[in-house]
Structure formats: C-alpha cells, structure tokens
Amino acid sequence: MSKETKALTINPQLAAFQEELLKNYDKANLSAKKGQTLFIGSSLMEIFPIEKWEEAGEVTFSHYIYNRAVRATTTSFLLEHIESQIFNLEPSKIFINIGTNDTGFEIPEEEFLNNYDQILSQIESKLPQTQVYVMRYYPINTVDFGQDSDEKTLFETRSNEKFQKASDKIKKLADNHHFHFIDVNDGLSDENGNLKKELTFDGAHLNPAGYQLVLENLKVYLEE
C-alpha cells in the first residue's frame, strides 16, 4: 500500500488529522465568501485538487469552489460536523460524494441510507435555494491493485458492484428530495468497467489526471 493510501486510510494519527482539518476549515470559513460552490465528502473529494488549481489560476469559474471534505469519513461523521463542513459556508451549489466508506466499513445499509437522507433533508430545510448535486461513486480497480496485505484489506469490502448498487440507492434519495443525481465518471473506466490504471495511484483513489477528467465532466454543472 502506498504512503498516500495509508495517509488516507490507516494512518494511526488519522483522528488527529481529521480534527486539525476541521479546525482549519472553521478558521477558513470565517473569511470565506457566502453563496459559492462547495465540494463535500470523504477522501475521494478531499484530495480533489480544485482549490489548488483555482489558486494557481489553472481553472476559473463564476463561483469560487471551496473543498470541505475529510478523509476516511462516513455519512455519520458528516452529520456530526455538518455545520463546519456545509452550513457555515451557505453555498449556492453543493457537490457531494460521501458514503463509499460506509460500504467499506460495512456500516449497515439501513443506517447508511438513513444518514444520507438526513444530510439531504437538513440541506433542503436550511438551504432551500441551494442546488444540490449527488454524485455517483467512482469506479475502482481491484485487478491491477490489491496485491499486498493492506491493499487486500482495503478491497475486501469494496467492489464496483457494491458501489454501483449503493449509487442506485442514493439516486433514489436524491430524487425524493428533488436534487440532481449526476454521473461524472465518463472516461474513468476501462472496457471491463474498472478504473483505468493510469488514473489512480492505488486502485481506489484518483490521481490528478483522473480528477482532470472528472472536472471536465463537472463543468456543465458548475457553469449552469
């Protein structure tokens, strides 16, 4: 397992990192502009280098994109920290990718879906004018990765089939709240439905090239 993956998944200092990241978000939120775009979720969203690209002038949109995602987190974590991660920013658009760790950590499906529904319900209630985009989960690659013991552990409870089924269920939640459900995975999969080897560093997380593809697919929603 790569150092990057360990930092995102089994780092013994993970809880301390999460706490420090939330403190940094709280501090940044004090001067953040309201009514902008928000990316929220777990590591799959946290390592999306969108703010880095914005600060470097590599991408520009009509609204600034804030990233408030936290690695190795579940829907219950987001519920617990929803003020810091979402509501304090009062965003006009939210792109959410949370829940793959619920599957990976084998959280009971009923609990996972109930938590996700609560997240969407709170957003609907507190931010009624905000456009919400629930994202289909990215594909993974368990064929070219998963050779060492740590990687095998990572993939024991994760599969494209599981994520596909989970995506279909959160789509129903999004539909129930009249939110957008979007699939921005075009170009990520090979002919067998696996995440392309060149777009990932561990089979589970995207690398910058992967996020460039996702961003291209997101532009239609970011600019509407």
In the prediction, which pLDDT does 149 show? Answer: 72
Q: Has residue 3 got a pLDDT over 60?
A: no
The secondary structure of residue 81, as a DSSP letter, is T
Total domains in the chain come to 1
Domain that holds residue 41: 34-222
22 found inside a domain: no
pLDDT digits (tens, 9 = 90+) for 143-182: 999 887 777 788 999 999 999 999 999 999 999 999 999 9
In the prediction, which pLDDT does 148 show? Answer: 76
Rounded to a whole number of angstroms, the distance between the first and last alpha carbons of the chain is: 39
In the prediction, which pLDDT does 152 show? Answer: 76
CA distance 112 to 157: 15
Q: Has residue 71 got a pLDDT over 60?
A: yes
73 found inside a domain: yes
Describe the crossing of helices 109-126 and 160-176 by its angle, rounded to 10 degrees: 40
16 found inside a domain: no
188 found inside a domain: yes
165 found inside a domain: yes
* CB-CB contact of 179 with 121 (8 Å): no
Q: Find how far residue 109's CA is from the centre of its chain.
A: 18
2 found inside a domain: no
pLDDT digits (tens, 9 = 90+) for 76-128: 999 999 999 999 999 999 999 999 999 999 999 999 999 999 999 999 999 99
86 found inside a domain: yes
In the prediction, which pLDDT does 146 show? Answer: 81
To the nearest whole number, what is the mean pLDDT of the chain? Answer: 94
Question: What φ, ψ does residue 15 adopt, rounded to 5°?
Answer: -60, -40
In the prediction, which pLDDT does 12 show? Answer: 66
pLDDT band at 195 (very low <50, low <70, confident <90, very high): very high
DSSP-derived 3-state class of residue 215 = helix
The whole-model pTM stands at 0.94
Q: Has residue 207 got a pLDDT over 60?
A: yes
Task: Give me the CATH number covering residue 66.
Answer: 3.40.50.1110
24 found inside a domain: no
